[in-house]
Amino acid sequence: MRPGLVGEMSAAYFTVPNAGSDTLRLTGVEIDAAAHASFHRTIDSAGTARMVAQDTIAIAPRDSAVLAPRGLHVMAHGLRVPLAAGDTVVIRVFTSRRDTLLVRAAVRE
Amino acid sequence: MLTRSLLAGVACALLGACTGPDFRGVVLEPPEPAPALALADSNGTVLDLAGERGKVVLVFFGYTHCPDICPTTLADWRKAKGLLGDEARAVRWLFVTVDPERDTPQLAHRYAARFDRDFRGLSGTPDQVRAAMAAWKIGSVRDAGGTDSSYTVSHPSVVFVLDREGRVRLLHRQGMPPSAIAADIRALL
């Protein structure tokens, strides 16, 4: 997760594997440290970067969703607390299995 | 400028018509004089690009609420600057906002300087920023959705690299490793 000051944007990156035999869908995300969090994908086309909101992220069986810079990511809007390198943030990811994945993300520069 | 420059760079690569250093970025041939960039930093000082002749200047148009591309680019710049060591003294790193409605000169500069104190953030009034973007022949669009405080903005993803004569010589696309950024800068110094 990227560092930031109160009120700023940040982004979180992580990998979610799907070890099951059915497609797994990530349906939502929450971060206590941010007022709002959502999935986005950065599209870089013809020299222009734009962000496209992703309602869900589908993960095929035995595949993984890789959230990484310049691609899929969690956009965290309105940080409630300052985040500095070394901090840890808990991210809750909701899935189509109706369970919640807990991601402990380290804050890094 | 952007689309034409990208096409020129591709043609240059395909035809093998470009001579000189083996750059990793897209080479503009011939290089074009950089347009003016008369925007202010946090001290209210308006940049004079002509005063930067003799330096290699990197220019990136982004915005401080950008969660992904902009911080990734500036983080790569910081790594490239570290690789350059003392040679980085002859380099200028300019972060120019495309979102003057939210990014004051102070906010733009604070954001850029957070990555490295030598990075300079620039902004101005909406009219001033629009004029600068028109001069550079680039655009930005507020994306659909969001609120007046949380919207995202489509913006150029490339970095303009100016040579010591103040000409736009290279375009750095997203994903260039810091070592390649540093190598291009070193070749221009």
For residue range B115-153, list pLDDT tens digits in order.
999 999 999 999 999 999 999 999 888 887 777 777 888
> A11 with B68: CB under 8 angstroms?
yes
Q: Which residues from A are below 8 Å from B67, CB to CB?
A: 2, 9-11, 40, 51, 73, 75-77
Res A109: pLDDT: 84
What are the two backbone dihedrals, phi and then psi, of residue B21, each rounded to the nearest 5 degrees? -60, 155
| Residue, of B116 and A46, whose pLDDT is higher | B116
Looking at residue B144, its pLDDT comes to 77
Residue B165 pLDDT level (bands cut at 50, 70, 90): very high
The β-bridge partners of A12 are A74
* pLDDT at B148 (0 to 100): 72
How far away is chain B from the Cα of A58, in angstroms, using its nearest Cα? Answer: 21
Structure confidence at residue B72 (pLDDT):
96
Q: 3-state DSSP call for residue A11?
A: strand
Show the domain range for B43: 2-188
How many domains does the structure of chain B reveal?
A: 1
Residue B42 has pLDDT above 60, yes or no: yes
Residue A96 has pLDDT above 70, yes or no: yes
Q: How far is A64 from chain B (nearest CA, A)?
A: 20
Helix axes B69-84, B178-188, angle to 10 degrees: 60
pLDDT tens for residues B47-71? Answer: 999 999 999 999 999 999 999 999 9
Distance CA B37, CA B128 (A): 9
pLDDT at A68 over 60: yes
Query: Mean per-residue pLDDT for A33-59?
Result: 95
| pLDDT value of position B2 | 55
Percent pLDDT > 90 in chain B is 75
d(CA B156, CA B130): 14
Question: Which stretches of chain B sit within 8 Å of chain A by CB?
Answer: 2-3, 6, 64-69, 71-72, 75, 78, 139, 141, 143, 145, 149-150, 152, 154-158, 171, 173-175
Fold of A10-106: Immunoglobulin-like (2.60.40)
What pLDDT was estimated at residue B4? 52
Distance between B157 CA and the closest CA of chain A, angstroms: 5
Q: Which helix (H) or strand (E) holds A59?
A: strand A57-59
pLDDT reading at B10 higher than 90: no
ipTM of the shown complex: 0.89
CATH number at residue B160: 3.40.30.10
Q: Compare CB distances from A70 to B3, B171, B174 and report the shortest one's residue.
A: B174
pLDDT at B93 over 50: yes
CB pairs under 8 A between A and B: 74
> In Å, how far is B152's CA from the nearest CA of chain A?
7
